[in-house]
Structure 1
């Protein structure tokens, strides 16, 4: 999930205030994308992405540009506040981080832990990651930077991820130039059915994941001067499974998310079947919070042709954010900016699906 880009950004206790920044069996199974920025199926699996890729998030939000300390500008003890009105601080390097060429994969993001990661050399068109998992609940992701190319030129390439030498089943589009931020997204796709994990992985048994630059049209290996690829697999922290009325799991949400250097813990979760009108009401968070909201479900996208459905988050003072039915993601909520939160369904009623609002409050 570019998740999310849906995975990179909130850690340490809120009382330790510091300076400032940081908040997606096998090919046959569905992949729940946590990459909010860009995710595409690779080559022949394009149909898989359209039919079975439920866009989700991750436990991360895009990091915002730093603003100024709360209160007096001369008060160095005051917490920094980001452009979104949320607490903001820099996460220092830690043991286990992978740091190279101005980029970093963090060893821990929220409660997700880096299993294996690699930042490639300039011009390196592919590499493999070998991991021995301690859990089958993982996320994986890859990035591709093509300095010197235009947006249109970069769009003709993508980076794929594959397991055990099979054809790439996860793809991410390439970006021109270098990334604006140091920290790379923590994961991007979560393979397997909600709550079940990636069944093609075996705990304690080594597995090989290949990251490769390919032509976006042909899915054949490609090479670009100066191209830089990165890839990582994160083992997920504890999660809460969201179920529909029949008791079938439709998605899984992390117990802890991170935003701009701070950890936020799940406080309450409200769910309801999709239908016209107001859904999933929940009380307004008193302090800064992160809200994961949206909907999920196997046939949630089976609506009237030509009349797409969407959900709108209602109750925030400064936003009327909407997203398509069948997707979910995070919204930062500064202290005092929310009333009672609810979801408003717009468009025709889907055949099925579950709407939800998960409120995460600052960990103290």
Structure 2
């Protein structure tokens, strides 16, 4: 399990898991077991090894076959790192002493195209985290034989370079931790890392910057997310826990994207969120994370009560899972507001005419809207076809907790407003999805669910 797999686990948790941070651990532990199974399987043959590398690092197979190794291997404290991996040369290597669960050394980056290959001397229940100036560059279960599995690639558009500029000394740290984020002591374990050049044509989680994108210190909001045009964006300073901007809404429905880079938010409690509040009292909780895929998958829609066409402020704060404002020294947060385009109005609520998910376009079919005082809203699902359903509330007041129940996932959370959506596979029999209030008392407003089906 490398860093991107951990981020994928976070995205899954943010959109399809219970709000209790403890529920993240089984998914991470499952990925640890699967990684060990995959690595064991690599001894079966070179063909299987190449296929495995293709699964873990898409985009890394188009480079030419490596020639004879020209860079010598690196040896320290009885640990050996290969001088080259698939033709990529070792630029810097380091290995700690056996039993040390924290290792650090100095390194000066000279190129932005790198791969960090963390390694362990023996099997253990710990996870190796590799960081540069506090920025996580690789993470994996500690397995003695890494086989052909390559480390985490870093592109020239990574947010790392805001923390570790080219030509300036940086601190590299290696830590052995458990799935709960706590330090693990293992007298037999030895931590090491190789920093390799990376000539692979690689598409990062960001993709290339395009005209109209909002970029600051290596972090970015797209000028257009899917079919939605950005109306405003702001990214805060390092260590700041609040940002504010304003925009002019073109409809009552807007899409909110958030980002955040607090250290170790994946596994180390508390679980962080980015709380977004608008000048008209509307609010929604976003999640920390960066990269196009994470930001878009955790985006949410908000129904505004403010007049259309007039400026409206929006403020984002870093909070814990209970909504308490927190400060994290290395954190950066940001928020962007998008106009989702054409709307369908039903019972006073604007719904997107179309939504896009995993390359499929879904079109609005119908909605169920009820007074929030009823406490819940339910929708009968279609049979024999995939579908998307959107759920949320309007004007229910502060300090109200909600819950959504899908066919394969559910989630609790303090959601005083806003809309989210999820997709479901075809069903062989009628079923029901629901959205309801499970804590607090609404002061008014509405609960709603909308059904979308694929455009044929």
- TM-score with structure 1 setting the length: 0.46
The structure carrying a bigger helix percent of its residues is 2
Q: Which has the higher contact order (CA 8 A, sep 6+)?
A: 1
- TM-score with structure 2 setting the length: 0.38
Higher Cα radius of gyration: 2
